[in-house]
Structure 1
């Protein structure tokens, strides 16, 4: 479902119409929303040159003089129109999205500059959404409003107007879709003013079914949790590596005979921290295994590999103290172990 929303500031220029047409073709757009068309000659006249081929439908909200004007053009093979509702500042096209056989309402918005009239527009749109709650909504256009001060640069920010706008979004359960691209979508000719919602307008809102909204929120929550877990794992791995390096350093000093009781006590403390980190990692593996087992059954072997590795680590002898010197060389450890147990089990002759 590719939609383009554009504050075109007039479509009388043939070059601009060609530019819009190329955007529509290059992005395989099925629905095109234009704001500030400044023309009463779009439907049945300029709409074909804007769309670029003969298969389309068009609905308009004519401008008052040379001010305003809204046009929505779409592919009827993908969207079957059933109802059109228009008001001062919006054009609603309702119908069936044919690929999924789902009812959608697409609302093309060109909000007025006056804050009082914008407030009335939000109220009217909220009533319209509540009256057609069985439909899924996609609202797009030039809202002439921002949600926070960081969305403007070099121009005044009205917190009261922003609050009315945010309340409208919250009351209707709309989702402010995150669009890629640059931070600001409009810059004045002198470069002094930047804002989010002017030309070209790319702010989109969507209202889906309650189940879809919950599913979307859970998906976002899952993503945040995964990011948090990833950062925690990175921190734990870095700490684990640091502990291993410190323990190895103490072992080398002990082999050289420079170890002291304080250093060995530190090694004991470091080793305890390392075991705690390993224990948490194994616990995490167990939790993941329970989830994966339900999905993969016997194919899930990561958990058992983790347990085997844990057992190997617990049975490993990192080193021994020989005559006051710490030895971690495997050959020396084996030789000393053989000597020790050979002496223990050596039979004495009568």
Structure 2
């Protein structure tokens, strides 16, 4: 959005999506929330019926376009000019919403969604969109790890004796296997690491193409290369895995990894590469937190993360049934992540 003198006052990514789009951009898939454990659904009165109705409704929309603002893994999708007052922010967002809804009407889009907002991070979005008839629903969580320790031993002391022993065994096994971790910038991203990323993508059923992935790396180097940290695990010169982080001041945002799945589970590559080594570096550099994005919630929280809800705002004006089912889904998600947090945030549990 531009101001009266042409200056940028608000920016947000927005896409016209359909069933061929990345699943993280397609409401017919990210609103299904089919990873919710049955125990959490059963604990919510009417939960199973509400999710069945919601999923049935979404199946009918699979072939229809949607308009989506937000990008998976890029939390806080609205940027505001620093000079705007709270009222001006709300006005600018209202105009942006008008524009998005006009685009949806022109494209015969069935759903309009704003998505991947960390809960309580943007009060303007929450107020403006809900007043306009959007329903708020948790579609997952960002696994957030505050770095509050002055040493790795301090990190370990937050776990039960059983979990500490397990982590120490994993660190020791990694070292004894002759694996080392190198730190690089974005220049490390090339065909070698792209091959590892493709293994990771294929494991989760995602489309993978080496040439396109390497081209994506070139764009990353051009646009955000200065903010990237890449940790690469090697054994005898061979890359076994990598993980990327975007640095935003004192915060690291984990992005995409890659793994050689033939390396074997006995070297504990995942935990050392994604958690133990980056945590030690983060402590030494005064990083305040690391965000590990969505998915693998139990695993990430077992290593110290806490879940922060990621919200979608779905236009439901005039559709009370859809709004009601989304509200039930939101309660189920809150129940789910409250349970996970309780299981992993109390000292003495492991």
TM bucket, shorter chain = under 0.3
Q: Which has the higher contact order (CA 8 A, sep 6+)?
A: 2
- Using the size of structure 1 for normalisation, the TM-score is 0.25
Larger Rg: 1
